[in-house]
Structure 1
Amino acid sequence: KEAHRAWGPRKIRTLYARVHPGEPTPSDSTFKRILDKAGLVEHRRKRRSSSCGRLENRIPAEHPNDVWTVDFKGWWYTTDGTRCEPLTIRDAYSRFVFCAAALDNAQTPTVRRQFERIFATYGLPRVIRSDNGSPFASTQAPLGLSRLSAWWIALGIDLDRIPPGRPDQNGGHERMHRDIAQEVQGRYDGDLRTWRAALDT
């Protein structure tokens, strides 16, 4: 949209479908809402667009389930050579940790299963805040939408992306990662099952 100011939601939806063939595609109205929130819809007066078309809402968390934060806490190899990808999901207001899961990959289907489980238990948040990395965002798709974030939007969840190189804007989540490193890393040694048990304590 930044590069093609004349493109509307229908055109961008078509492009998204080409980038993600075979995946469910949000409706035209959903793309219109995304463009509007990103400041890329011209009304009577031209609105200032967010830098690079990123979705940066900076919505404060005033109640539980207002804003959830999500990230991966860096990966490492277990003793049996399996890659461990710790996924963490947290409520920004209550600081409740919904998920600290030792996954064997960071692919969309794996991460989506974790969210499906958590949504079924705790309901949906208003906003999910993430960085611009995969699978939360995509550098190849309009507005950085990935299959995972497009699914969130289809569920009615708004997105809030922190600017690149600014992990301090997700400070509470970063502090939680430091706590995990202190409490877990270095104290346990084993396979992926061992790490899953450690993160579940």
Structure 2
Amino acid sequence: MVFKKLFMRLRNQGFSWNHKRVYRIYCGLKLNLRRKANKCLPNRHPEPLSVPSTANDSWSMDFMFNSVISEHRFRTFNVINDFNRESLAIEIDSSSPTTRVIRVLRRIAVYRGYPRQIRQDNGPEFITHTLELWAKEHGVKLKFIKPGTPTQNAFIERFNRTYRNEVLDYYLFNSLSEVRDITDDLMIDYNYE
């Protein structure tokens, strides 16, 4: 159906190519492939954002994207403590699957203990069964925000803005190790000043 409309539009614009040639180019550009449908998320009822009463009561986590000079994209996985807005971890790499998310959370828990809850969005790394099992095993409640409402995860979004303004948008990076070094300096300044 879409191809017919496109072909008629080309004809109306005065091009005399036959339909087989246009279809070959159409397929070569992969315009004939159907788009994947969005996954249906379970119906969740998010609670309003509240300030925790103790230091290890609630954490928030989120991902950010950026690139180095060579156009190589990387992701940052950020975790903060909602009580005092302390940055607990910023993991930087080209990919961050669920296994890496769990590894970072375990590393934090070694010296902080496990939180009562973790607030996050509905990203693909956060809605996996593996993370759900890990949370149940350690008595951590996963709190999902309503899709399209980052204000329900305002603590981490505020931290992300600071991190983007002071590091990601401020520097041009040559490598991931440079990003990690500058990020480590920011975490010290952010947490202790």
Which ranges of structure 2 fall in alignment gaps of 5 or more residues? 1-40, 186-193
Shift of the 175–59 alpha-carbon distance from structure 1 to 2, 3 Å rule, reads closer
Shift of the 150–56 alpha-carbon distance from structure 1 to 2, 3 Å rule, reads farther
Structure 2 residue aligned with 1:70, among 61, 65, 69? 61
Structure 2 residue aligned with 1:118, among 108, 114, 122? 108
Could you say which residue in structure 2 is the equivalent of 1:174? 157
Runs of 4+ in 1 over 6 A off after TM superposition: none
Are the counterparts in 1 of residues 45 and 146 from structure 2 also a CA contact under 8 Å? no
Q: TM-score scaled to structure 1, two decimals?
A: 0.65
**Structure with bigger gyration radius:** 2
Deviations 1:70-111 (A, max 9, x none): 0002x1222345431111101111111101221221211222
Structure 1 residue aligned with 2:127, among 134, 137, 159? 137
Higher percent of residues as helix? 2
Q: TM-score scaled to structure 2, two decimals?
A: 0.68
Give the deviation of 1:52 after TM superposition: 4.1
In structure 2, how many angstroms separate the alpha carbons of the residues matched to 1:199 and 1:118?
A: 17
Number of paired residues? 143
In structure 2, how many angstroms separate the alpha carbons of the residues matched to 1:80 and 1:149?
A: 36
SS at match of 1:153: helix
1:1-201 correspondence runs (5 A): 52-54=42-44, 56-58=46-48, 60=50, 61-73=52-64, 75-138=65-128, 146-188=129-171, 189-201=173-185
In structure 1, how many angstroms separate the alpha carbons of the residues matched to 2:49 and 2:156?
A: 16
Give the deviation of 1:59 after TM superposition: 7.2
Between the aligned residues of both structures, percent identity stands at 29
Question: How big is the alpha-carbon RMSD for the aligned residues of Structure 1 and Structure 2?
Answer: 1.9
